[in-house]
Chains A and B, each alone.
Chain A
Amino acid sequence: MISNSRNETILLGEKIGRLLKGGMCLCLEGDLSAGKTTLAKGIAKGLGVEEIVNSPTFNILKIYEGRLTLYHIDAYRLEGNSYDLGFEECFYDQEGVTLIEWSAYLKDILPKEYLLINIDNLGDNERSFEFVPKGSEYEALIKEIEKC
């Protein structure tokens, strides 16, 4: 999928956010400035979060309340140091969804099933989104996303 603007990215996120079910986990991969936090903003909106969602880099984990609890994790500063930070508590909350930016740094502790979203910066405001499902629930989710 291609997005040509920040707004389109937010709309795509909103669509995904509306389709998410409790207990789901999404991993966002992409370079600095690819648009991970922008997509996260949209997803939060789709989940009915009203607060401003901004970069979780400093806090590592930010929690928002919407239709489901949103756990917004940023592993940027962890850089492969997969310490036991208690993220499992987020993954197993059936009333919540977890969004992980820079998930590659947490690969040892990721749940078995999740949706990987690779974001590529194609220059200016153009971004490509590649969906890689891990598990049947997420294959179904992608179909839903494509349908909308």
Chain B
Amino acid sequence: MQKILAIESSCDETACALLNEKLEIETSIVTSQIDVHARFGGVIPEVASRMHVEQISTIIKEALKGHDMSEVSAIAYTIGPGLIGSLHIGAIAAKSLAFFYDKPLIGVHHLKGHIFVNELIEPLEYPLLALVVSGGHTELVYMKSDHDFKILGTTLDDAIGEAFDKVARIMNFGYPGGPIIDKLAQKGQVTYKLPSPKVDGYNFSFSGLKNACLTLANKLERNNETLNKEDFAKSFEEVALGHLIQKLKLVLNDYEVKHVLIAGGVAANSRLRELMKENITKQKLTLPPLKYCTDNATMIAVAAFKELKYGNFVDLSAASRSSLSIEAC
């Protein structure tokens, strides 16, 4: 049976997984650096790279516990997009293994991982529409098949996860902003009036909303008023997530779509999951469990089986890329 050993290190999670061709997870190890980065209010790239260096050998060893390299058919790693220093650590580890054990090497696009990991839950049906939402991405990806990707919409400024983080910072909520706002919002009401982003087509914009939050914060400070955190979180979340849903529905109106899924870290947001259930009624809908929303190596392995199927290998000279379009990969 074919098995892929995959390494993911694009941001602040170091991960390694062994997956077989039946898409059964043999091992999956993830360590997060979130506690370290929380002290800085965000991921510090150089710190992230150093921590990847410290972790990676242990993680790979752990993932191979009870297994042997002779079982492994190919080595996969995240080739981009992500923090370049972090990507390099995973790439070097994967290339070293591939070189030493003479295994084929597969470079996987990070977002393909987030999309294809949903196959662990149920088969994907095409045409498929994926809403990829994370700290670095806000994209509507349309797939006619498992190797045809088209970006219909993307953010013109901030990614949605970035908007959550920055707004949380403006309001002194702490880091990471996403889970904090999500939790506060569950106890809040919409009382603050914030503007809905207006952008043509399927693209997104969050900077106007961020600006409105800043204006609000300044106004409250001037008037010596205190912010009702829960209500603010709810007001902000409704506008930000509403924007996603509005664009998603616009695409569903214009394109034939059989299956809708969400992917990426912000897919863990409880309100977004609710909204998806409420709004996606005609298409098959997959909401990945939380453990697959955040970065992991299992998803890289699942996507690597696709590349294996199409014979997409890379050689030892393949360059990691901090920005990499899913259409070109």
Contacts and interface: CB of A to CB of B under 8 A. Distances in A.
Contact of B42 (A31, A54, A61, A77): A77
B170 interface: yes
A60 B158 contact: no
B85 A85 contact: yes
A34 B83 CA distance: 25
Report the interface size class on chain A.
20 to 34
B128 interface: no
A52 B154 contact: yes
B197 interface: no
Nearest to B81: A59
A57 B136 CA distance: 8
Contact of A81 (B46, B81, B135, B322): B46
A132 interface: no
Interface stretch (B17-25, B206-214, B275-283): B206-214
B211 A78 contact: no
B84 A54 contact: no
B46 A54 contact: no
Contacts of B82: 59
B242 interface: no
A85 B41 contact: no
Contact of A57 (B40, B162, B322): B162
Nearest to A83: B46
B256 interface: no
Interface of A is mostly: loop
A13 to B, nearest CB: 14
A37 B159 CA distance: 13
B40 A55 contact: no
A141 B323 CA distance: 30
Interface string A31-70: 1110001100100000000001011011111110000000
Interface string A81-112: 10111000000000000000000000000000
Interface in B34-93: 40-47, 81-85
A79 interface: yes
Q: Enumerate the 5 nearest inter-chain pairs by beta-carbon distance, A residue then B residue, closest first.
A: A58-B136, A83-B46, A33-B211, A77-B42, A55-B158
Given A32-B170, A57-B158, A79-B40, 14 more contacts: A32-B210, A37-B157, A54-B155, A54-B157, A54-B158, A58-B135, A58-B136, A59-B84, A59-B323, A63-B322, A79-B42, A81-B40, A121-B214, A123-B215
30 contacts: A31-B214, A32-B170, A32-B214, A33-B207, A33-B214, A37-B158, A54-B158, A55-B157, A57-B162, A57-B166, A58-B161, A58-B162, A59-B81, A59-B82, A59-B322, A59-B323, A62-B322, A62-B323, A63-B322, A77-B44, A77-B45, A78-B45, A79-B41, A81-B40, A81-B46, A81-B47, A83-B45, A85-B46, A121-B214, A123-B215
